[in-house]
Amino acid sequence: MSKSTHKSIALLAALVLASGGQAGAADISGFLRDASNGESLPYVNVYLKGEKRGFTANESGYYVIVDVKPGKHTLVASLVGYRTFSEEVVVTADDIVNDISLIEQALLFEARVIKNDPEEVDDFDISPGRTTLQPRELKAAPAAIEADPVRTIQTLPGVASLSDFNVGLYVRGGTPDQNLVLLDGTDVYNASHLFGLFSTFPADAAKSTELMRGAYPARYGGRLSSVLNVITDEGNKEEFEATGGVSLLASRLTMQGPVGRGSWLISSRRTHLDPVIAIARKALDAKKFGYNFYDLQGKTHQVLSHTDQWTLAAYTGQDALVYRFDEFDFDLEWGNRTVSSKWTHIFDSNLFGNLLVTGSRFRGATVFDTEDVTLKEVNRLTDISLKTDINYVPDENHTVEAGVNVKRMSMDYQFGESSQIWYDLDVAGYHNSAYVQDNWSVNRLLVLQPGLRFNQFSNGGYTGWSPRLAARYQVGQDTYLKAAVGRYHQYIFRLTREFQGISLLSNVWALADSTAEPSAAIHYVAGVETRWRKFDVDLEGYYKDYSNLYEINYDEQQSTKIGDLLRRGPGRAYGVDLLIRKRSGRQTGWLSVSTGLSERTIDGLKLDESLKPQSFNSKFDRRVSLNLIHSVSFRRRWRLNSRVAYAWGQPYAQVLGRGEITLPSGLRWSFQEKGELNAVRLPSYQRVDLALQRRFKFDTWDMKFNLQVINVTNHKNLFNYFWSEGKADSQTPAKRRKISMFPILPSIGFDFSF
């Protein structure tokens, strides 16, 4: 071996030793769990008191603080809703495995205000626009009939909804298909029931719901707008537990308990609208009319050893509508199925990894049948993924995350009648990606998060680099300046056929190909977060620059190429979001205020005199919106939740005139002459909701009666205008009618657990 080789090896060894930590220092690591049921707790802040060093636990509840000097230290763990954990730890030269159990804060019975530790660092995660909601917060917002995690998310700043009938998330000028929706790491498409009235996510089994509203890190990709990450419970590892409830709409039941070296969980929900359906059937004079939806989720989580855990989960949910009237039948069904298997392994205290295999399938089918013809439309989107992620903490200043994702996606769409298929699209492709990112504590005040993601999409041969950079700088005791920038790509999209405000029959997904390029966006975010007295305050501005946004091309009737079925063009969105939040104490809640603009310039739409497209307000452009969520407990067993909402109305195109064309066959068809696209707005949206809960305890049963009133003031929020045709026989002109959203809507429900 030559001298130069010796030198190289020595240098390399020195570097490894230097990066591997300080001499005599040790790592403190472990899992954070709920003391009552053994449930792992993600996103817990774990830190060493007085040393400004800590770690935010990952999704599996694992934390590590590396290179801790020998001696006595105070280890603190805090999570909203749990009592702060504090323990003295004596560190020697050996790594310490210290699993922590947190005790849930019984906030209903303890009216004492919790004082925050002034030395606590709130959050070691520097992602801007990131909001995490715990189960209690997910149910804080009064809901129409049932608590819904996504409906609660819609009250956060920067998140708009089209109407009371739509759970789609329009995040900072993005459409719902631009959100990466993950259920325990598995992609979910079209996560809604009852034509968008409810989401598919079970409020009872959701352990944590995290929304990143923009400039999200390199760990995530494939969508332009945001990430909604829902983590469900693993199951009670200590004892059998059941929770459930009955509302006017549905019944639900979640059971869980210990099995093997871990737990199991089954959660289900099903409608029981049959009496209401029977009344509707008679009113419609239908031979048959039925609607139902169900969700069924199962999971088992096994702690094989300290270093290995395994989870197997599956979900199925479906909506079905059937309507039979005289000579025609109408059947509509859609639903998701997912299955996932996850193995987590601790290679070393500072090296943690996941291997996740997932499968997800969305299917929508519409059948229209008369005695002479049967029309059928079916769309399936299937996604099979293999994901690996590793977390590596080489020293106290760096947390490196890296991973690879291999995903096979296929979409098939068929439309035709019983003996002849008119459209048949069958596309498959691979979306492969790899990423690396580092949480780098440059000094005691500045943290940077550079990241890089590489995408490769086989359909069309597309590749793209997505650099990301986030920064956080501490300017005060609890005050941080934040900024982030990132590039994003999207290779699949939903062909929206949304009626103004609802998502009926808009379930068709397509993949990018040689005729339809992927969409892209650049996000710029900057803001400040601070704590003022008991309130967390987050003020953030954003700018998003989109390219290759798609709208469905209603004019194209013949082509089977995806590119021909779409109109495309650039867009942008910018605005300011404010979130003021109180998360502990007898009164909790948040105030969210948003002002923002979303506009697009799409080929063929809003053409000027030289036939060039001009920019127009997106339909989901809510220039100003405000949500106030408030929850207060009183007299030990009572809780009052309330919501006040305000938003500018949706933009629309005014109908300026009507006309008719008579064809050579003699048939006549009317048309509407419309004004400038989305140049006027519906009246503003205003709503006040109240929910009163009374808790009872009977033996081992915890019960809760809920009385909710949606739209207490019965304000008529406009959903849409439509023009009637008038009556030719009496020469009665057309009238513009208003369709309103939810009127005052009381509902009752009963929840239980034992």
Partner 1 sequence: MRPPATHMLFARFIAPFIALFITLWGGCSSPVEIDNPEQILLIQAFLTPGEEVVVNVQKTLPSRLYYEGLEDPVSGAQVIVNTEASTTVLDEDPAVAGIYKASAQALPVIEGETYQLEVTHEDRVVRARTTVPIRSRVTEVVNDTITYFQRYGDIFGELVHPGEFSWIKSPTAAGYVIIVEALDVTSLPVTAEPLTAQFDTLLALRERLEGQVANDSLRVLERQISDLRAYFNTNITLVNDAGDTTRFLRERQQEDWREQEAKESTNNWTEGKLWRERRQDLFGNRVLDFWVPADSTRSDFWWLGVRFEGEYRITLQSVDENYFDYYTTLFNGNSGADSDPGPIFHVDGGTGVFGSYSRDSFRVIARRGD
Q: Site residues for partner 1, window 302-361 (CB under 8 A)? A: 327
Binding segment (CB under 8 A) for partner 1, from list 249-257, 338-346, 455-463, 552-560: 552-560
Write the CB contacts of 372 (distance below 8 Å, at least 6 apart in sequence): none
Q: Is 578 in the site for partner 1 (CB under 8 A)?
A: yes
Q: Of these, 723, 740, 745, 753, which contacts partner 1 (CB under 8 A)?
A: 723
Footprint (CB under 8 A) of partner 1, residues 121-140: none
CB distance 649 to 681 below 8 Å: yes
* Minimal distance, residue 662 CB to partner 1, in Å: 7
Judged by CB under 8 A, the number of residues near partner 1 is 95
Residues in region 496-525 near partner 1 by CB under 8 A: 496-501
For residues 710 and 688, what is the distance between their CA atoms, to the nearest angstrom?
A: 7
* Strands 508-511 vs 492-495: parallel, antiparallel or unpaired: antiparallel
Among 273, 679, 703, 745, binds partner 1 (CB under 8 A): 679
251 vs 374, beta carbon nearer partner 1: 374
| 574, 544 Cβ separation under 8 angstroms | yes
What gap in Å lies between CA 190 and CA 537, rounded to an integer?
32
Structure tokens at 61: 């509840």
Residue 615 lies near partner 1 (rule: CB under 8 A) = no
**Interface mask toward partner 1 for 424-463; x: CB under 8 A:** ----------------------------------------
Of 457, 454, 458, give the one whose Cα is nearest residue 433. Answer: 454
Q: Name the amino acid, one letter, at 707.
A: L
Could you tell me which stretch among 189-197, 228-236, 393-401, 617-625 binds partner 1 (CB under 8 A)? Answer: 617-625
Contact, 113 vs 584, CB < 8 A?
A: yes
> Could you say whether residue 228 binds partner 1 (CB under 8 A)?
no
Binding status of residue 472 toward partner 1 by CB under 8 A: no
Rounded CA gap, 376 and 332, in Å?
A: 10
Min dist CB 81 to partner 1, Å, is 24
Q: Which of 487, 623, 637, 715 lies at the binding interface for partner 1 (CB under 8 A)?
A: 623
Which one of 105-113, 226-234, 418-426, 515-523 is the stretch in contact with partner 1 (CB under 8 A)?
418-426
Q: Which stretch binds partner 1 (CB under 8 A): 118-126, 218-226, 285-293, 372-380?
A: 372-380
3-state secondary structure of 396: coil
Three-state SS for 128-140 is: CCEEEECHHHHCC
Rg of the chain over CA atoms, in angstroms? Answer: 27
Near partner 1 by CB under 8 A: residue from 103, 111, 421, 680: 680
Q: Does 423 bind partner 1 (CB under 8 A)?
A: no
Q: Which of 663, 698, 699, 700 binds partner 1 (CB under 8 A)?
A: 663
Residue 663 CB, shortest distance to partner 1, in Å, is 7
Smaller CB separation from partner 1, 99 or 120: 120
Q: Cβ of residue 675: shortest distance to partner 1, in angstroms? A: 6
Nearest Cα residue to 509 out of 491, 527, 533, 522:
491
Is residue 740 part of the contact set for partner 1 (CB under 8 A)? no
Q: How far is the CB of 292 from partner 1 (least distance, A)?
A: 26
- Told to check if 659 binds partner 1 by CB under 8 A, we report yes
Question: Among residues 412, 417, 545, 702, which is the contact residue for partner 1, using CB under 8 A?
Answer: 417
Phi/psi zone of residue 158: left (φ > 0), alpha (ψ -120 to 50 degrees), beta? left
Q: Which is nearer to partner 1, 14 or 475 (CB)?
A: 475
State the CB neighbour count (10 A cutoff) for residue 50. 10
- Residue 105 touching partner 1 (CB under 8 A): no
Report the residue from 463, 560, 672, 713 that binds partner 1 according to the rule CB under 8 A.
Answer: 672
Using CB under 8 A, which of the segments 76-84, 457-465, 507-515, 526-534 binds partner 1?
526-534
Measured CA to CA, the distance from residue 714 to residue 115 in angstroms comes to 39
Beta pairing partners, 683: none
Using CA atoms, how far apart are residues 163 and 153, in angstroms rounded to an integer? 14
Helix (H, G, I), strand (E, B) or coil at 294: strand
CB of 680 to partner 1, least distance (A): 5
Angle at 461 between CA 221 and CA 362, to 5 degrees: 55
Residue whose CB is less far from partner 1, 404 or 655: 655
Tell which residue, 59, 91, 165, has the closest CA to residue 498: 165
Work out how close the CB of 370 gets to partner 1 at its nearest, in angstroms, rounded to a whole number: 7
What Cα–Cα distance (Å) separates residue 322 from each residue in 22, 325, 365, 667? Answer: 68, 10, 12, 31
- Report the nearest approach of partner 1 to the CB of residue 493 (Å): 13
Question: Is the CB of 310 or the CB of 543 nearer to partner 1?
Answer: 543
Q: What's the CA gap between 223 and 243, in Å, rounded? A: 35
Among 554, 701, 750, 754, binds partner 1 (CB under 8 A): 554
Q: Closest distance between partner 1 and the C-beta of residue 254, in Å?
A: 38
Closest-CA residue to 88 (of 102, 98, 103): 98
Which amino acid does the sequence have at 494? R
Is residue 414 part of the contact set for partner 1 (CB under 8 A)?
Answer: no
Map the footprint of partner 1 across residues 262-281, applying CB under 8 A: none
HEC string for 559-588: CCCHHHHEEEEEEEEEEEEEEEEECCCCEE
Instruction: Kindly state the greatest CA–CA separation across the chain.
Output: 105
* Among 532, 696, 750, 754, interactor with partner 1 by CB under 8 A: 532
Q: How far apart are alpha carbons 570 and 700 in whole angstroms?
A: 58
Nearest CA-CA partner of 219 in 354, 33, 51, 77: 354
Q: If we measure between CA atoms, which residue out of 321, 289, 331, 333 comes closest to residue 190?
A: 333
Q: Which is nearer to partner 1, 71 or 659 (CB)?
A: 659
Q: Of the ranges 192-200, 209-217, 220-228, 718-726, which one interacts with partner 1 (CB under 8 A)?
A: 718-726
Q: Does 658 bind partner 1 (CB under 8 A)?
A: yes
Binding partner 1 (rule: CB under 8 A), the pick from 88, 285, 371, 608 is 371
Is there binding between residue 715 and partner 1 (CB under 8 A)? no
Instruction: Indicate whether 118 belongs to the interface with partner 1 (CB under 8 A).
Output: no
Q: Which residue has the tokens 């009371």?
A: 164
Question: By the 8 A CB rule, do 709 and 680 touch?
Answer: no
Q: Is 602 one of the binding residues for partner 1 (CB under 8 A)? A: yes
**In the complex with partner 1, which residue's Cβ is closer, 60 or 717?**
717
Is the sign of the CA dihedral 275, 281, 284, 285 positive or negative? negative
373 near partner 1, rule: CB under 8 A: yes
Based on the shown chain and the rule CB under 8 A, indicate whether residue 69 belongs to the binding site for partner 1. no
- Is 471 among the residues that bind partner 1 (CB under 8 A)? no
Return the number of the residue (10 or 680) whose C-beta is nearest partner 1.
680
Q: Which of 52, 287, 674, 694 forms a contact with partner 1 (CB under 8 A)?
A: 674
CB of 259 or CB of 655, closer to partner 1: 655
The conformation of residue 104, written as its DSSP 8-state character, comes to B
The residue within the footprint of partner 1, chosen from 272, 337, 681, 716 (CB under 8 A), is 681
Provide, rounded to whole angstroms, the least separation between the CB of residue 105 and partner 1: 25
Asked if 374 interacts with partner 1 (CB under 8 A), we say: yes
* Cα three-residue angle 366-369-372, rounded to 5 degrees: 145
Q: Using the rule CB under 8 A, is 539 a contact of partner 1? A: yes
Q: What is the DSSP string of 124-176?
A: S---TTEEEE-HHHHTTS--SSS--HHHHHTTSTTEE-S-TT----EETT--G
699, with CB counted inside 10 A (0-12, 13-18, 19+), is: exposed
**Exactly one of 370, 560, 614, 713 binds partner 1 (CB under 8 A); which one?**
370
399 vs 553, which CB is nearer to partner 1? 553
